[in-house]
Amino acid sequence: MRKFLRSWQAKALALVLVLLAALVTSSVVLKGEESWPARLLGYVLTPVQSAQAGVTNAAAEFFDNLVHAGELADENEALESQIAELREQLRDYYNMERENKLYRYYLGLAEAHPDFEFCPAGIVSRTDGDVFGSFVIDKGTLDGVALYDPVVTDGGLVGYVSKIADTYARVTTVLDAGFRAGGTNMRTNDTGVVGGTLTLAADGLCELRYIDRESLMAIGDTVVTTGMTGIFPRDLVVGTIESIGQSAQGVSLTAVVRPTVDVATISQVFVITKFVGQGNSLEEFLASEGTDTSTPAGEASAAGEASVESESETSASEGGTSTESESGTSSESESGASR
């Protein structure tokens, strides 16, 4: 013991203890700031500790995954089923959103036409390559839909039911070359026949034919249905006039009409299953009074435009191909008598 206390080691030790005491004192005085020995040690230790922590973090994660593999698999399975459930909810949400939008349209139409009875329908397929835009809806006779029922959206007239089955129906649109409906200019009350042609259908247009050449109609005028055939209710918006020109025969005017409804892009429609005046055509009424209304133009002559008669015969021959292909449909749509 005495030997040690007298040795240089004891003296060195005493010096070290004194230095350490001084270091502690200076650290206390400095408070927040580290002393230079600590900073010096930090330069050496920090990179080493960072590297080591990186290695142990990776190792810990590896072993953690091994140890908890079973739990992770269970959690994964639970999360996957939760995702599947959420996907279903999302799908239901989108369906409800679409239905909600549909029913808002429905409400608007019902308020505008309180006598209408509607059947909402979705478009389930379109005829491939058909420029006239005909399509199939997901409602049929079991849903109360009948042949020749008008098909509309909140924008206006789309077409009519041209073929029917129990659970689906085919719709012929206003663009179709065989389509016929009585139309009138809302502003000037000029009447004519709404129909389509192959050329116009490619541009999404139809036309209003057999208009009096003295007519004062103008571009931008709105065309609506007359309701005289008993197939389409009156005042259904067809479209707006884009251009006016003379007919091929030169005895009347023909207006190119842009339908308010873009039949190529719609996905939901309404079938009007009942309305006031359904099945009651003016032609039948006049025939019952003894007036001769048996012309191919049908409705146009029933409106009292004699000059249309010869033109309608000509137009029938002009549109012969499309008319013939849709002959059963167009004649039925004209007369409305099949109902």
Partner 1 sequence: MNTRTTALRERNKKLAIRGLLYVSAVFVCFLLYADPNLSLFGIKPNLLVPLTVCAAMLDGVFAGAMVGTAAGLLTDMVRVSPFGTNALLFAVLAVAVGLLCMLLLRPVVVNALLLTLGASACYYVLDFLLLYAEAGYEWPVFAARYSAPLLVTAALAAAFYYPVRAAARRLRFVV
Give the residues lining the site for partner 1 (CB under 8 A).
1, 4, 9-10, 12-13, 16-17, 20-21, 23-24, 26-28, 34-35, 37-38, 41-42, 45, 48-49, 52-53, 56-57, 59-60
Q: Judged by CB, which is closer to partner 1: 45, or 264?
A: 45
Q: Which is nearer to partner 1, 2 or 290 (CB)?
A: 2
How many Å apart are CA 106 and CA 119, to the nearest integer? 9
Q: Across-strand partners of 327?
A: none
Partners of residue 195 on adjacent β-strands: 207
Dihedral sign for Cα atoms in the order 339, 175, 128, 124: negative
Angle at 238 between CA 233 and CA 240, to 5 degrees: 145
Length of the chain: 339
Minimal distance, residue 65 CB to partner 1, in Å: 14
Task: Give me the least distance between CB of 76 and partner 1, in Å please.
Answer: 24
The single residue listed with the structure tokens 């004209």 is: 334
Phi and psi for 109 in degrees, rounded to 5? -65, -45
- From 150, 90, 105, 93, select the one nearest 274 (Cα to Cα): 150
Of 26 and 321, CB closest to partner 1: 26
Minimum distance of partner 1 from residue 86's CB (angstroms): 35
When the beta carbons of 48 and 306 are compared against partner 1, the nearer one is 48
Alpha helices in the chain (DSSP H): 2-6, 8-30, 36-67, 69-112, 198-202, 282-288, 299-302, 308-318, 320-325, 327-335
Residues 6+ apart with CB under 8 A from 174: 157, 158, 159, 181, 194, 196, 206, 238, 239, 259, 263
Nearer to partner 1, 10 or 276 (CB): 10
Nearer to partner 1, 49 or 81 (CB): 49
Which residue is associated with the tokens 């749509």? Answer: 333
For residues 37 and 320, which CB has a smaller minimum distance to partner 1 in the complex? 37
3-state helix, strand, coil in the chain (%, to 5): 45, 20, 35
Q: How far is the CB of 41 from partner 1 (least distance, A)?
A: 6
- Structure token pair of residue 336: 């409305």
